[in-house]
Amino acid sequence: MKHNLLCLIGVLLVISSCTPTSRKMELIYLRDSELYTETITLDFIDKDGNIHSPYIDAVKFGFLDSVSFKNMNPDRMVTHITPYILDFSKKIKPYSPEYYCIYTVYYINKAIEYYNYLFHGKIDFNSQEWLKTTEVLFGDIPYLSNPKNYIFEKNSHPSPSLFAHEIGHRAFWYLEGSLGIKFKGNSITHMGLLEYFTVSFNNSPLVGEDWLPVNVLRNAELLYQYPLDDSLTLRSLLLLLEEYYPADAQNPESNVSKYLAAFYASYDDYLDIIYDNHRGGMVLTSTLWRIREQIGQEKTDTLVAETILKLNTYMDKRIESNPSSKDTIDWFDVFYGLIQEDNALFSGEHIQLIKDEFVRTGYLIDLVDWID
């Protein structure tokens, strides 16, 4: 990676400012191919080195030795680690285990507060008790990070999109599970809305810098088209991973190979007919991102969040018009909801823009004939 001078400056800042008494440190992260530093106050760590966060009870650190998958299910990963005892009372060294744990706690807190603000505190993150102990790992496959396990390559500078994305999963689990929004699982529409908040939180169209393989980075500035094409299928995803990790893909003992084997075992019959929901969701994310670029973050975030909270109502309106249609949230419910919310919040000021951008993506908005 380039930017060596910026990285050296950032490291020197961390070393010079991270004494336990200063209560400040610099985080170095990648955004839009540039390295940035953010000075943070360590108000969530007391003088004895204990973490105090309303959303995190404890942080554990370990070195990732290997992964396995229960019942060969790629979504049921088990990590096998060598544990490491953290000491936050000492001087925090850059790129140390303590550094990445602070990195993780800070951005988890920040992402949760972002969701709390947008959804008026209706998402109870603390009800997800199994996630209040966070694991941070040094490992060779940060691609497998999830809301429980954050995996970092040594000396990496992961984009804050990592944390916004994983907290987004937690938020949308709650929206569906406790608030009853009928996404019916991690659908393309579900992921498209989730990833909109990822890019908006990070103020960047890129998702995955320095934690996703570069050939599967997600970019909301691209003009994704609807209907989705074959480049977004699960088979395409696996081929991209094999291309990025050629040696590991051929080594049956590698973590990459184990993940690929689990994926093939679970989805072999569907690889050509099911879309990768993360990349496929960018069709909707990119549409919303273009709207945001024209009317700003505050208005777009509000429109999207308020639409989500009422999606069941908007879906019911569709079913009332077409009783044979499915009771699962789809793009047309989101489109209809955005129109209704723009009418309610902004006197319809952005309706034509919303329509134009959905048409630009390829959505057949003329089929949404239940709009008042």
For residue 47, the surrounding DSSP H or E stretch is none
Q: Give the angle 182-183-188 at the CA atoms, nearest 5°.
A: 160
Question: What was the pLDDT predicted at 2?
Answer: 41
pLDDT at position 8 over 50: no
What is the Cα–Cα distance from 235 to 243, expressed in whole angstroms?
Answer: 12
pLDDT value, residue 9: 33
Q: Please provide the DSSP assignment of 194-237 as one string.
A: HHHHHHHHHTSSEE-TTTS-GGG-EETTS---SS--GGGBHHHH
pLDDT at 22 over 70: no
Mean pLDDT value across residues 263-287? 96
What average pLDDT score do residues 180-200 get?
97
pLDDT(264) > 70: yes
Which 8-state DSSP code applies to residue 96? S
pLDDT greater than 50 at residue 321: yes
DSSP character at residue 327? S
Question: Torsions phi, psi of 268, nearest 5?
Answer: -55, -35
Residues 6+ apart with CB under 8 A from 208: 159, 161, 162, 165, 216, 217, 218
- In the structure, what pLDDT confidence band is assigned to residue 23 with cuts at 50, 70 and 90? confident
Q: What is the pTM (predicted TM-score) of this model?
A: 0.93
| Interatomic CA distance for residues 104 and 99, integer angstroms | 9
- As a whole number, mean pLDDT of residues 125-129 equals 98
Is 158:35 a contact under the CB 8 Å cutoff?
Answer: no
pLDDT in tens, 215-229: 999 999 999 999 999
Query: Tokens 């008042």 identify what position?
Result: 372
- Closest residue by Cα to residue 159 from 123, 114, 111: 111
Cis-peptide, bond into residue 97, ω within 30° of zero: no
- 88-114 b/e with 16+ CB inside 10 Å = b? beeebebbbbbbbbbbbbbbbbbbbeb
The pLDDT mean for the chain works out to 93
**154 burial via Cβ count (<10 Å: 0-12, 13-18, 19+):** exposed
Candidate from 46-50, 230-234, 342-346 with smallest mean pLDDT: 46-50
Is the pLDDT at 7 greater than 90, yes or no?
A: no
Better-scored residue on pLDDT, 129 or 370 = 129
Average pLDDT over residues 99-109: 97
pLDDT at residue 3 greater than cutoff 80: no
Tell me which residue of 155, 169, 54, 60 sits closest to 104, measured CA to CA. 60
- Residue 113 has which token pair? 């507060």
> Which one, of 182, 186, 206, lies nearest residue 31 by Cα?
206
Of the pLDDT bands very low, low, confident and very high (cuts 50, 70, 90), residue 372 is: low
From residue 210, give the alpha-carbon distance in Å to each of 14, 153, 158. Answer: 20, 9, 5
Q: How many residues appear in the chain?
A: 372
What count of other Cβ atoms lies within 10 Å of the Cβ of residue 209?
A: 23
Give the lowest-confidence range in 2-6, 33-37, 254-258, 332-336: 2-6
Q: What is the pLDDT of residues 46-69, one digit of tens each?
A: 888 889 999 999 999 999 999 999
Q: And the tokens for 369? A: 């004939």
Q: Is the pLDDT of residue 6 over 60?
A: no
**Confidence label for 204 from pLDDT (cuts 50, 70 and 90):** very high
